[in-house]
Chain A
Amino acid sequence: MRRYLGLLGHQLRTAVVQAMQYRWEFILEGVTSIIWIVTGLAPLLVVYGQQRTNAMPGWTFEQTLALSGWFVTLKGFLDGAIAPGIQAVIGLIRTGGLDFLLLKPVDAQFLVSTARFQVWRVTSMVSGLVILGYSFQAMGRWPSLLEVGESVLLMLAGTMVLYSLCVLVLSVSFRAVRLDSLQVVFLSVFEAARWPRTAFRGVVSVLFTFVIPLALMTSYPTEALLGRLEPGTLFFSVVLSLAFSVVARLVWRFSLRHYTSASS
């Protein structure tokens, strides 16, 4: 464990040094991230415009804003810590460079997960927390310690599910050529997580609760902070995240066992 933590620290330091080599690009990327966050809030402002205080069933503007803040934070983590590594490894699979990665005396899943980081996405995570804080101030209520604890636990569960889904996407790349656009599809689907789960009904609701559990990633943690998490949801979420992690690990190992190098 200490060895892997040390390796993670080394990867992060390398990413920071690489980012600081091009300072202007670093600053521009941060500014661009903030602009994207602002444009992402525009639909929310329009939906809740004209004094429609409960435009989304069961969610006021401030509550949906809190969910948006949570989404922005999680997306910052996805874009900065998970997606870059996945994208880099998809390219390695196609070119055969993955062989060199597999030769290293470290767990391959760890290496592909920490292959690359985009440090400037920290601005997104900080911005998301700022939006979250502003929304609670606007609500005039702050979450209790227990609610924060539940939310953090759900956040970890949601992050595990998100990571597991990315690993599953990566595992598909072993079989399919030029399907790195599958990652684009996943990232696009993830955009739906910026809206409350009550917006989705019928088949879509089942899809976004059990198959691609977006509700677990954003709605449940926000509901925990709002103090209205339904009984059993926490247990269900933790079990679901563990199940996803196990499945992702098994699929990854299966894909690796059947990987035939692109080189000699």
Chain B
Amino acid sequence: MSVRGTFGALRAQFRVALAEALVYRAEAVLWMLGSHVPFVMLIVWTAVTQGGAVTSASGKSWSTEEFEAYFLTSFAIRQVISCALAWPVTYEIRAGGLSMRLLRPIHPLTSYVITHLATVPSSILSVSPAMLVWAGLGLGGFRSDRWEILGAWLLAMLGAWIMALCVNLIVGALALFIESGFQVMDLWRAAFSVFSGYLLPLELFPEGLRQATAYMPFRYMVGLPVELALGRYDVGQAFTLLGQQWLWAVGFSMFTWWLWRVAIRRYGAFGG
């Protein structure tokens, strides 16, 4: 297929996937409401700060306003970068649907990336009104006035998005090797919920554990974008952390590519 033809096919696939993402608007809103754990944690920490601000091991003080900004931003960022491709990919492989994708002149991985990319506009659309209101009230949103930090944040969001996508594609590919790919996803989600900064700010961890999270991929998927948005770092620190994140993102991407190459080689169609 020519380059022009390929781009035309990808554009068509994007438009179809975008239409699918937007058609069930009620379901999209419900999925968003299903991710309200940050609001629950915000309520909990607000109750805790009634007795005074919380001080982290590093000496930083967390007041009610700090928690409001953190969890509202965490909620919004999670909506944009979250990915649930593992389930449809796994079911497609089990049912033999991957055969049809392999017959097309577009690599299955490319198809999946385009499909997930099409969900980003609807995610941004669903969360933007709330974020504008919160930012207007001074509760959440971007807090740095440095354009370098804004650039770092945008790249961090992209890196987090890539990492989330890769994790789901890796789990999806596991369907070609083991019966319990979903168990792997469950274990990942359990670790992610604690070490990513989604459930609670990593700064509040004991010092040793907080330092250990720097060597795990989870914090770069939620914690880093949130902390950049809240202006926690200067430009040097921001780009150092960004570099660390992108090492993970590139590593995840290469592993995903390699795993799918191996997986497709051993794929044998079954089912309908």
Contacts and interface: CB of A to CB of B under 8 A. Distances in A.
Interface of A: 22, 24-25, 28-29, 32, 35-36, 39, 42-43, 46-47, 49-50, 52, 54-57, 176-179, 181-182, 184-185, 187-189, 191-192, 195, 198-201, 204
Contacts of B180: 24-25, 28
Contacts of A178: 24, 27
28 contacts: A25-B180, A25-B183, A28-B183, A32-B187, A35-B187, A39-B191, A39-B194, A42-B194, A42-B200, A43-B41, A43-B44, A43-B200, A47-B48, A49-B204, A50-B55, A54-B51, A55-B48, A57-B47, A177-B24, A178-B24, A178-B27, A179-B27, A182-B30, A188-B34, A192-B40, A199-B47, A200-B43, A204-B43
Contacts of B199: 42-43
B1 interface: no
A34 B179 CA distance: 20
A25 B30 CA distance: 30
Most buried by A among B40, B180, B186: B40
Given A195-B40, A199-B47, A49 B206 contact: yes
B190 A46 contact: no
A124 to B, nearest CB: 13
Contacts of B211: none
B248 to A, nearest CB: 21
Q: Taking each of B48, B180, B183, which has the highest tally of chain A beta carbons within 10 Å of its own beta carbon?
A: B48
A39 B179 contact: no
Nearest to B191: A39
Residue among B26, B36, B47, B186 with the highest chain A CB neighbour number at 10 A? B47
A195 B44 contact: yes
A177 to B, nearest CB: 8
Contacts of A201: 47
Interface residues of B, number: 35
Given A39-B190, A43-B200, A192-B40, 13 more contacts: A25-B183, A42-B194, A43-B44, A47-B45, A50-B55, A55-B51, A178-B27, A179-B26, A181-B31, A184-B30, A195-B44, A198-B47, A199-B44
A46 B44 contact: no
A42 to B, nearest CB: 5
A235 B206 CA distance: 44
Point out which of A32, A52, A176, A178 has the most chain B C-beta atoms below 10 A from its C-beta. A32
A36 B199 CA distance: 13
Interface string B164-203: 0000000000000001100100110011011000011000
B58 interface: no
Contacts of A195: 40, 43-44
A179 B36 contact: no
A36 B55 contact: no
A22 B180 CA distance: 11
A42 B218 CA distance: 16
Contacts of A184: 30-31, 34
Contacts of A200: 43, 47
Contacts of B194: 39, 42
Contact of B33 (A25, A36, A177, A185): A185
